[in-house]
Amino acid sequence: MDWLEQLRWDEKGLIPVIAQEKDTGDVLMFAWMNREALQKTAELGRAVYFSRSRGKLWFKGEESGHVQTVHEIRVDCDQDVVLLKITQTGHHPGIACHTGRHSCFFSLLRDGQWQAIDPVLKDPASIYK
């Protein structure tokens, strides 16, 4: 059986994906992939996602230059979530978030309020022109 067919895709043909930094273990982002995106990711060794808002493949870093080099592709026990072990390139430290932060998970719930606790490493206006 084809390895892509062994996965449990949702009704839209998508699967959730977590990008985790290989060296630090930091969870950098969450995204979606369709079959084509996951196949291209495996072939290229570079993260390719499916943009639901644009309805097309999204090569991570195509606009920002913040590419994700993929070292491992894992699947969870239910075969319905993919984990990418990656190296975030294009800036040091790596920027995975469109807000210019290292991780998309920069807000912490504290005293009933969401507080941004991680710094902006690069102004998004200078990343996306």
The model's pLDDT over 12-64, given as tens digits with 9 standing for 90+, comes to 999 999 999 999 999 999 999 999 999 999 999 999 999 999 999 999 999 89
pLDDT of 90 reads: 83
Sequence letter at residue 117: I
pLDDT for residue 78 is more than 70: yes
Write the CA distances from 106 to 69, 70, 78, integer angstroms: 22, 22, 28
Instruction: Indicate the pairing of strand 15-21 with strand 48-51.
Output: unpaired
pLDDT of 1 reads: 63
C-beta neighbour count of 6 within 10 angstroms: 9
